[in-house]
Each structure stands twice: as structure tokens, then as C-alpha cells.
Structure 1
Amino acid sequence: MAERGTVHLNMIVTKTGDQGQTYLNDGSRIAKSSNRIKALAFIEQVAVKLGYFIHACENEILQIQLPEECSCQINLTQLAISFQQEMYDIGSDISTPIADGEAQKRFPQESVEELTELIARLTPALEPLDSFILPQGSLRVLLSHDIRTLVRQAEIHVWDIEEAVNPAVPQFLNRLSDFWFVLGRILFAEENQTGGAENQKWEPRQKQDRGFRINPA
């Protein structure tokens, strides 16, 4: 697996992929239409979308009140950068097929447990849900929902890889999608805590008002 500092990109146009195949980290070639490459494409989309989130937050510190008089501070920029770094760690892992008896370091299971614990600590700050919420709100709230859906698609493609994969990778992606759902709700609540709009919820099988008003001549 490519380690930090060993990636060399001194030639961008190589023409080695012009026949619909690309190289993996072990030197093998694989179809660009394979589920492994599709998963990598979505991982890269997540990293880019995290960049949009960083731009939208501008080093903001989020203050969260937790039960039992506890509180939490999150540097939203540093948070997103940390996940960007891990997207490339995951990409490196996926790009390296698992070999028998390998001694390489892979994406750690500890990161799955850490994110699971973080979600558990943040969730009590929110009211329980009695329906699905509609993805609405500020740019950073919408980006949170966008990130969670992209992460979910990446996870699906990882599960579709025919060969063995590091189980920590799809598990982390599963937790990461959940995390951005929770964070999106927290951001919406924080922005509307002074009597603003409530998060609209799905109302099943209701006749919908399209917002049209036709005035007679």
C-alpha cells in the first residue's frame, strides 16, 4: 500500500488508461468499470465535497450542549480535514488488493470504534425523531446531507467489490454516513435555536401543495 511520501505524480497524462484499464497499488491492472474503481471514484467525490464544507465553515467552532451539563466544541474545518485525510487512507487501502500473508498496515478498526463512540456522544444532544427529515437548511446543513449520501454510495460500492476487502473500510463508511446525518441535524438545530424554522419531516401519503397560485385575468 502506498505510504505517505511515496506517491509520485510528476506526469499526469500517461495514456495507460486509454484502453479502459488502470493500475492498482500492487501493479496489477483492472477495468475502470469495476466496483473497486467505482468505490474509489465515490471516495474521491467525498473528499472534494468535504472541501466545499471546509469553505462553507471558515474555521467555525461549533458549541454543542450535551446532557448532564456537559458540552462539546468542534472545529468544523479541522473535523472535515481529518475526514479528507482518511478518505485518502481508505482510497489507498481499496487500491491495494489483499494478499495472502501480507504484513501491510490497513485502515484501522480503531477508527470505526472511535467514530461509533463519537456518534453516541453527540446523539443525545438531539430530539428523538418520529419521521424522516427533509434535507433542507443552510449551505453547510445541505452539504452535510450531501456528504452522507455520497459516503453511503461509496460504502455500497465497497460491499460490491468481488475480492476480499478490509472490513474496517465499509464499516467506517457506514459510521461516517451516520455521523454526517447527526452533524447535519445538530447544525440545523444550532442555526434555528432562537425560534427559527423547524426541520421539516416526511409526511407519508399526503396530498402535496405544489406552491402554484394562478391568478384570474
Structure 2
Amino acid sequence: MQIYTKRGDYGNTNLIGGRTISKDAIRVESYGTLDELNSLVGVIISQMTKEELVLKEELAEIQLLLFDCGTDLAMLEGTKDYLITKEAVEWLESRIDDYSTEPPAIEKFVLPGGHPVASFLHLARTVTRRAERIIVSLGKTEKINPVVMIFINRLSDYFFAIARVVNSRKGVKEPFYEKGGKVFHSELKKETIPKTHY
């Protein structure tokens, strides 16, 4: 099987639907960033143990969903049905809700770090946020599947939630931003606590 096609040698690529665009177009940047994120999720999975099988299986499912998101972003509207639906968002929300109750409540901003796997998950969260910013910009100028934007927004919440879970299960103390003092009230439900500040 020949890997290279030479079709992109002049800085262009084809969207699903046939339109040719420049490789530095914001649409290509959007699904290219999701490809970067998908690769990072693959790295995270490779660093997890057999005891983390459930999380590994979830992350493998997220890899498939990220590929679907990228396909939708590479597709001209009306070419065919979009792949990402509200069911994917609902599944992600259910996982976030379950994981949010596991670690102890927090009163300060969490700094990325702790266990190596948790640190990688925080990195995945920030790449997800970057992808989201690009997708938001794309959506202002071109028609895209709106569910992709919602899914990616929830995905950053998911990565934050499971990064906290990994640190909790590994018995690793989370690093906190100490300068600001307490920024959350202990009576708040954990699922209402923001991930971080941007």
C-alpha cells in the first residue's frame, strides 16, 4: 500500500464533498487539532494499567468519537448525515456526573499535575480547549455540525473529572493554586464547581 499520494504537495487538500481548500484553512486546523488530541489520548491509554480498564475502554471510545468529530468538520454541509449526535454528548455527561462525585470536594483552583496519567489528562484538557476555540471560530464563518462544538466542550470537562479521579485513586495529592485562597464554598455540589479559570 502506497502511503503518499502527492495530492497535497502544493498545500491543498480536499474536503468530504469535493471542495479543495488550503491546508492552513481554519477548517483543516479544526480537524487537525482533533487529530492531535486523538493521538494524545492514545498516549494516555498506553500509559494506563490493567487496573484502569474501564477508563481505558472509555478513552478508546472517545478516540472513535473524536474521529467522528473530525469527519464531520471535514464534511461540507449536505454531503451526508453527520456522525456526532446528541447521544454522544449525553453519554459523556453521564460519565462526568459519575466521576464528579468520587474525588474530595475542592475549594481552590486545581493546577495540572499529580500522577503522570493525570498530568497527561490535564494536557488533553488544554488541547481540547484549543480545539474548541478553533471550532468556535470556524462556526462563525461556515456551517458545521453544532453538536461537535457541544461534545468538545463537554470533553474538556470529562478530562478534568477523570484527571481528578486518577489522582484520587492513586493516592496522589492534587496541586492547587494557593495564592488566591479559597475560591469555592464547601457547600457547593462538586458537579457545579468550575474546572479552572481561562
Say yes or no: TM over 0.5: yes
Aligned pair partner of 1:199 in 174, 181, 185: 174
User: Which of residues 97, 114, 117 in structure 2 aligns to 1:120?
Assistant: 97
- Which amino acid is the alignment partner of residue 24 of structure 2? S
Please say if residues 138 and 188 of structure 1, whose CA atoms lie closer than 8 Å, have aligned partners that are also in contact.
yes
Deviation at 1:103, TM superposition (A): 5.3
Percent same amino acid at aligned positions? 27
Any gaps of 5 or more consecutive residues in structure 1?
1-9, 62-73, 207-217
Which whole-Å CA distance do the structure 1 matches of 2:109 and 2:100 have between them? 16
1:19 to 10, 13, 19: 10
Return the alpha-carbon distance in structure 2 between the equivalents of residues 199 and 184 of structure 1. Answer: 10
Q: TM-score if structure 1 supplies the norm length? A: 0.76
- In structure 2, the residue matched to 1:33 is 24
Higher CA-based Rg: 1
* Residue in structure 2 matching 1:97, options 76, 88, 91: 76
**Whole-angstrom CA distance in 1 between matches of 2:149 and 2:127:** 13
4+ runs deviating over 6 angstroms? none
Query: 5+ unaligned residues in a row in structure 2: which ranges?
Result: 182-198
Would you tell me which structure has more strand in proportion to its own residues? 1
Contact 2:12 2:20 in 1 (8 A): yes
The correspondence of residues 14-163 of structure 1 with structure 2, limited to 5 A, is 14-61=5-52, 75-99=54-78, 104-161=81-138, 162-163=141-142
More helix by share: 2
TM-superposition CA deviations, 1:141-178 (whole Å, max 9, x none): 11111111111111111111120111110110111110
Question: Which 10-residue stretch deviates more, 23-32 or 131-140?
Answer: 131-140
* 8 Å contact kept, 1:60–1:76: no
Q: Aligned Cα RMSD in Å?
A: 1.8
Query: Secondary structure of 2:13's match?
Result: strand
How many corresponding residue pairs? 179
Q: How does 1:150-189 map to 2 (within 5 A)?
A: 150-161=127-138, 162-189=141-168
